[in-house]
Structures are given as structure tokens and as C-alpha cells.
Amino acid sequence: MTKNSSSILKKISYLAAIGFSIFALFFVITCTWIGFDVKDQCKIAQDKYQSDCVTSLSALVEDESMPFRQRNSAIWALGQLGDSKALPTLEKYYTGIIPAREALDQGISQYELQKAIKMAKGGLNLSKLFWSYK
């Protein structure tokens, strides 16, 4: 191996290490942000329904007086929590028909329901490792 090719490999290694470090930093920041959002959704639901997080979020999803955007946010949070206690509520609203585009303020999101059901059935959620408070 020549000195020039060794120098190029060293530079590539440094760039790869920097790239990985930046990726890891953004991943941890994103996971932490998700955790704060889930905790915020839980607090909103618990303030209104006075129960544990999953039960309160499920009650919010079922509350037809609540705006669809808030109900969809509760569905997302239930998915992030991945608790099987939420399955009856999530499955109650899931039709299996996911339109090409969904407006989160005009109906219950089938896409969010699909993801939440998958997570509640034990689907992989790497971000939860960084923020879970159970």
C-alpha cells in the first residue's frame, strides 16, 4: 500500500466516523423529542380523563367530542407506548383501508392506526429505548 492510498483510507475513516457520530447524535435527539411528545400527550389525556396514560389516551381516542387531530395524536402516542392494553380501542377504529392521503384533522388516520396496532402487538420501536419511563 502506498503512502497516498494510506492517507486516503485514513481520511475516509475519519469522514465515516464523523458521519456516524452525526447520525447517532440526530438519532438520540429525535428519540428524546419523541419521548417528550409522548409524555406531553399522556399529560394532556390524564388531565382530562384522570387515569393511567394508556387508559387516558384510549379514552381520548374514543371521545367523539375531541378534534380529530388530537385523537390522531393520541393514537400516535399509544403506538409509541406499544402497550397491548390499547389494542381494543385501536382495532375498533381500524378499517384496513388506508387512503393515499389523509388529513389528520378530518378523520381518524388509518395509517396511524396501522402503525399503532403493529407497535401494540410488539413491533420494534428502537426510539423507545431512549425515552421509556415504565
Q: What pLDDT shows up at residue 115? A: 93
List pLDDT tens digits, range 94-105: 998 888 788 888
Is the pLDDT at 131 greater than 90? The verdict is no
List pLDDT tens digits, range 118-130: 999 988 887 887 7
CA 104 to chain centre: 15
From residue 67, how far is each of 13, 80, 84, 86 by CA, in Å? 51, 20, 24, 19
> For the chain, how many structural domains are there in total?
1
Q: What pLDDT shows up at residue 19? A: 95
pTM: 0.84
Cα(35)–Cα(30) distance, rounded to whole angstroms? 9
Q: Band of the pLDDT at 11, cuts 50, 70, 90? A: confident
List pLDDT tens digits, range 12-40: 999 999 999 999 999 989 988 999 999 99
List pLDDT tens digits, range 39-92: 999 999 999 999 999 999 999 999 999 999 999 999 999 999 999 999 999 999
Angle between helices 53-62 and 3-49 (to 10 degrees): 70
Domain with 48 in it: 3-131
